[in-house]
Amino acid sequence: MAPVTVPAVDANRQNHNDLALSKTLHGTSWNEEHHRDSFVSKLNKKDRSYQSTVVGDYLLNWKSETTQDETEQEKNERVDAYKTVANSFYDLATDFYEYAWGTSFHFCRFHPGEPFQKAIARHEHYLAANMQIQAHHRVLDIGSGVGGPAREIGHFTGAHVTGLNNNDYQISRAKRYAILSDLEKKSEFFKGDFMKMPFEDNTFDRCYAIEATVHASSLEGVYGEAFRVLKPGGVFGCYEWLMTDKYDPNNPEHQRIVRGIEIGNGVSKLVTIKECIQALENVGFIIERAEDRTQNSDKIKWYYPLAGDIRSANTFWDYVTVLRTTTPGRAITTFMVRVLEKLRIAAPGSSKVGEILQQGADAILESGELQIFTPMFLFIARKPAV
């Protein structure tokens, strides 16, 4: 069932280097017997010197403090380094994400009385249903994280799901979770750059991305690769991170918020809904549906866990999630990690990672309240049959 891969020699060499560095950073957390280590245990097992280096190198991608001070050359250099930016970010952030949010790293809509994890699953089911994924389909998950959506969509549809990810640590976790979910025969996870996918033309019946292709150097580039690997008549579904029509690129406050989202989430450059639509059309997709799913009459906002609306929580774990993801909760986590660093329980640089993530979450919350950003612009696009 495995798709035919066509890796290049240079890509293999880079992949080998990435793997070695990631294993150095995460220590024995890579080992299967340590897969269920606690959050604190994972922080303790990080390499004592290398983590600080990774953090420092990551932040160097934003050389100037503000967008206004940044030169075009600096912007272009960061965009060109999109793969390294995202890979470094997820090496640093994955353990924090799983601790605070779960194994599906995305937002969703919430309904009254609906538990957090059920809402996350419904969001994934909604995408799969609109793409009309069937049990006999070969499906590609572009930017598959630790495999949360791939597992949920696999169970929901019965389809075979292939995950493509550039981060080795996440791939190792996704593979282990697939075994624990009895999906190892219905899923697989490949290391690769989604701007240069290691699959032959016309391989998949469906492909999707959930808040992942925002890390691409250009949407036209990654959408073009999705178009290439889809079979004629195949469907591409996506929840995309985009700036809305209410975003003013000349507004200093908007610029500050966007920069916070980018630094705090490993994003080289955010673009607009208009640019997304144009990219799809440019590569040849027929757009069958396109809408911003944050624009609705929901009483519970998509960013409620970040805002700390405890009244919208419904289960014990909902309360835990909200308490961890609110502004005070994130500050407490960062403080706790800082103390663990002082006690030499957590590796140096761990609290800085928390600060980076807190900056990103604060910016997303502000952007949501101003409605200048959406993490769930939904589109369903089809590759022409001929």
What Å distances lie between residue 328 and 308, 351, 358, CA to CA? 9, 15, 10
DSSP 136: T
Per residue in 117-168, pLDDT tens?
999 999 999 999 999 999 999 999 999 999 999 999 999 999 999 999 999 9
The answer to whether the CB of 307 falls within 8 A of the CB of 301 is: yes
The answer to whether the CB of 199 falls within 8 A of the CB of 140 is: yes
The answer to whether the CB of 191 falls within 8 A of the CB of 170 is: no
What Å distances lie between residue 254 and 12, 62, 64, 242, 260, CA to CA? 40, 17, 17, 13, 10
Provide the CATH number for the domain formed by 129-242+272-295+377-382 in this structure.
3.40.50.150
Q: Quick one: CA dihedral 348, 266, 139, 222, positive or negative?
A: negative
Contacts from 244-250 at CB under 8 Å and sequence distance 24+? 244/272, 244/273, 244/292, 244/371, 244/372, 244/373, 244/374, 245/272, 245/273, 245/274, 246/370, 246/371, 246/372, 247/272, 247/372, 247/373, 248/372
The answer to whether the CB of 180 falls within 8 A of the CB of 208 is: no
Phi, psi of 259, deg, nearest 5: -65, -40
Please state the rounded mean pLDDT for residues 280-303: 97
Of 171, 129, 169, 170, whose CA–CA distance to 152 is shortest?
A: 129
Domain boundaries of the chain, sorted by first residue: 129-242+272-295+377-382
The answer to whether the CB of 203 falls within 8 A of the CB of 225 is: no
Q: With pLDDT > 90 as the criterion, what percentage of the chain qualifies? A: 80
Q: Which residues, in sequence order, are CB contacts of 61 under 8 Å at separation 6+? A: 77, 78, 81, 85, 268
Phi, psi of 194, deg, nearest 5: -75, -5
Per residue in 344-380, pLDDT tens?
999 999 999 999 999 999 999 999 999 999 999 999 9
pTM of the full predicted structure?
0.94
- Alpha helix (H) residue ranges in 161-251: 168-180, 219-229
3-state secondary structure at position 187: strand
Q: Rounded distance, CA 241 to CA 267, Å?
A: 10
Residue 242: beta bridge partners? 374
Please state the rounded mean pLDDT for residues 320-335: 84
pLDDT at 81 over 70: yes
Sheet holding 230-243, edge to edge: 187-191, 160-165, 138-142, 204-210, 230-243, 373-382, 286-292
pLDDT at 49 over 60: yes
Higher pLDDT, 30 or 34: 30
Looking at residue 6, its pLDDT comes to 46
Q: Rounded distance, CA 81 to CA 214, Å?
A: 14
